[in-house]
Structure 1
Amino acid sequence: MFLQDVLDVTVKKLKSQTANVLTLANLSLGGFAIIVGINGNLNLSLLLIFIAALADRFDGMVARKLNIESELGKQLDSMSDIISFGVAPALLIYQGILSDYGAPGSFFIVFYIGCGAFRLARFNISENNGYFTGLPITAAGVLATLSFLAIPYVPSQTFIFIMMILSFLMVSPFKLKKV
């Protein structure tokens, strides 16, 4: 009987951390995307950001399905998202094209990261009413990352506007239904 109790407690503890493990996978993938991006491997950085998006998609689903949502998980998710969908895509776009623009390129990259952090902070203190206010940082990060694929095909200054638009969309007051 004792062994069964220990096993039950262990399984319950493992189950309670499943979503957090996925969230930490998101964070780790974003961290690795930054490291490989700094080292010039931008295609691998892009791939890691997309895999981080998958982990981010599933952590919330798992938390709701297993009924293990927590305030800690919500905060950890936001911290992971600023890395994977704020800093990593910003660095990818900076390394890929906007470094050519010097200070203005740097400004719009840092502005994007700041707007993403603001968006996450606002989300964390808002009530869960079935709507997002502004573009979620995950969507903005995925769109920024996707735009990297267009670098050979569009004028380079387009990316300043892409980062500016995504920044403003994250902090805008429009409502978007959660899916």
Structure 2
Amino acid sequence: MFFLEVVDQTIKKLKCQTANVLTLTNLGLGGYAIIVGLKGNLNLSLLLIFIAALADRFDGMVARRFNIESELGKQLDSMSDIISFGVAPALLLYQGILHEFGAPGIFFTVFYIGCGAFRLARFNITECNGYFTGLPITAAGCLVTLSFLVIPYSPPQTFFFLIILLSFLMVSSFKLKKV
């Protein structure tokens, strides 16, 4: 009987941490994407960002399914998202093309990251009402990452425009229904 209680408590504790483990997986993949991107392995960086997006998708689903949503989980998710969908995609695009613009390329790479951080902070202090205000950083980060694939086929100015546009969309006040 005692053994079954211990096993049951252990399973409950593991279940409670499942979403956080997925969130930390997202964070780790984003951090790894940054490191390999800085070392020049941009294709691997791209792949790691997309795997991080999968982990990010599942952490919220798991938290809702097991009814383990928490303020800690929400904050941890945002900190992970700024790494995986803010810093990692921005550096990927910087390494891939934006470096060609010199100081403006650096400025708008950092500007994108700042807008993403602002977007996440605003999300964390607002009530959940079924809508996002502004473009979610996960969507912006995936678009930036996807754009890397068309660098050989598009003029460099396209990417400069894209990172500026996505930055402003993240901090804009338009409403987007959650799906």
Q: TM-score range by the shorter chain?
A: over 0.9
SS state at 1:150 partner: helix
Q: Which residue of 1 is the match for residue 139 of structure 2?
A: 139
Tell me, which stretches of 5 or more residues in structure 1 are unaligned?
none
Q: Which residue of 2 is the match for residue 78 of structure 1?
A: 78
Q: Give matches, 1:113-124, under 5 Å.
A: 113-124=113-124
Q: Give matches, 1:41-52, under 5 Å.
A: 41-52=41-52
Report the CA distance between 1:2 and its aligned residue. Answer: 1.1
Q: Which residue of 2 is the match for residue 37 of structure 1?
A: 37
SS state at 1:68 partner: coil
Mapped partners of 2:116, 2:85: distance in 1? 8
SS state at 1:176 partner: strand
Runs of 4+ in structure 1 off by over 4 angstroms are none
What is the aligned-residue identity percentage? 82
| TM-score for the superposition, normalised by structure 2 | 0.99
Give the partner amino acid of 1:77. D
Report the CA distance between 1:130 and its aligned residue. Answer: 0.3
Q: Deviations over 1:104-162 (max 9, x none)?
A: 00000000000000000000000000000000000000000000011001111111100
Q: Which residue of 2 is the match for residue 178 of structure 1?
A: 178
Give the partner amino acid of 1:21. V
1:110 aligns with 2:132: no
SS state at 2:80 partner: helix
Q: CA RMSD in A?
A: 0.5
Mapped partners of 1:13, 1:171: distance in 2? 37
Tell me, which stretches of 5 or more residues in structure 2 are unaligned?
none
SS state at 2:155 partner: coil
Q: How many residues align?
A: 179
Give the partner amino acid of 1:155. P
Q: Which residue of 2 is the match for residue 128 of structure 1?
A: 128
Report the CA distance between 1:101 and its aligned residue. Answer: 1.1
